[in-house]
Amino acid sequence: MMTETEQLLKILRTAVRVLGYTNQDIEEKLGVYHGYLGRLFKGAIQLQFEDIVKIARALDMEPAEIFQLAYPQVPHPATGGAQRLRESLDFLQRPSAPAAEPLPAATAPPAATGLTTAIEQELDRLVQLRFEKLMADLVKGAAKGE
């Protein structure tokens, strides 16, 4: 049975041949030494994610297309991890929850309640914005194959 790394290497090796390139053509595009791809394809050099990204782009492909060729079937139903991730990403697309109501005056001093609530709301807003930016950057990076 072929390992996942072997499967990806087979897809990359086949893509190079089918698209009419030689290993040397791709090595020149990548700016690596002669024989690098041969060693990579034979398993003498460990395949890294960056290699997949760079080779895909040298082939005028997107990294996602290489993975789609290696994994043409999407599990249905989605795996538990994928489902939880989708739910988390969906949360980012929804409008943020309304700000928390201030505590009643009876539970805190009036001056402290307003200031504390305002600070908490602003902190919540800043944390939410930072989280949304982080997730958007991660999604964007994944789409670009970074």
Question: Do both 110 and 135 map to the same domain?
Answer: yes
User: 46 near 9, Cβ under 8 Å?
Assistant: no
| pTM, full prediction | 0.58
Q: How far is it, in rounded angstroms, from Cα 69 to Cα 50?
A: 17
Question: Do both 15 and 66 map to the same domain?
Answer: yes
Q: How far is it, in rounded angstroms, from Cα 134 to Cα 129?
A: 9
Question: Do both 84 and 66 map to the same domain?
Answer: no
Lowest mean pLDDT: which of 48-52, 89-93, 121-125? 121-125
In a domain, 75, yes or no: no
Q: How far is it, in rounded angstroms, from Cα 91 to Cα 30?
A: 39
Which structural domain, as residue segments, surrounds residue 94?
A: 80-144
- Mean pLDDT in residue range 68-82: 84
Domain count, the chain: 2
Tell me the pLDDT band of 39, cut-offs 50, 70 and 90: very high
Q: How far is it, in rounded angstroms, from Cα 30 to Cα 8?
A: 18
Lowest mean pLDDT: which of 14-28, 31-45, 55-69, 128-142? 128-142
Question: Do both 84 and 140 map to the same domain?
Answer: yes
Question: Do both 108 and 51 map to the same domain?
Answer: no
From 70, 90, 109, the end of a domain falls on 70
